[in-house]
Amino acid sequence: MQRCGYDVKTVTYVSSCDFGLNSSDFFKISENSASFDRLVEIQKEIGTEIQKINFSGALSAKRRERLTDLAFEISDILGKACAETNPNEAILQTIAQKRQKSYEDIKSERNKAVMSPFKKIIFGIAFGISGFLAFAGAMALASNRASLLEFIAVFILFFMPLVVTFILYKSKRQNLKFKIKLAPVFCVR
């Protein structure tokens, strides 16, 4: 999809919800649509082959050759992908029509559905600092026998920032999921 001009934010948004879309909604160039349909078939074939390998516990030469052929076919398909004209806007317009909302509402929903890089950096820094504090607190408790009062003080001062950061991160992720009503899988019909 990226080789056809879709950006990561749009792909993430569309793949996280079941909008009842099919490949022709994504690709106006028929070759891209046929290629995408073939990629979906290949994905299923690879899944079946892997299940057979896991069941038998052995990777036969025939299966290894089949998986290699599928990998080369994927490479060929990706090499033939053509850029679509304004694909992000087109798919968001299609979603807006299907959901009977305005294009701007869908665009805003897409922007909220993906955590911004700035927020990811902030959470990364917060996890790093609070994780270090929790480690320091654990080392302080391990180095000497602490009374119950000292244990509670160390827990509050050193472990609570990590717990709070984790809770905030989870609530942010849940908030995103509820806003866009996530479906369990990405389905292209």
φ/ψ of 68, rounded to 5, equals -65, -45
Q: Which residue is listed with tokens 């087109």? A: 90
The residue count of the chain comes to 189
pLDDT per residue as tens digits for the range 11-47: 878 877 667 787 778 888 888 888 888 998 999 999 9
Q: Which residues contact 162 (CB under 8 A, 6 or more apart)?
A: 127, 130, 131, 133, 134
Is pTM beyond 0.85? Reply is no
* CA angle centred on 113, ends 23 and 177, rounded to 5°: 100
> Residue 188: CA atoms inside 13 Å, Cβ hemisphere, count?
20
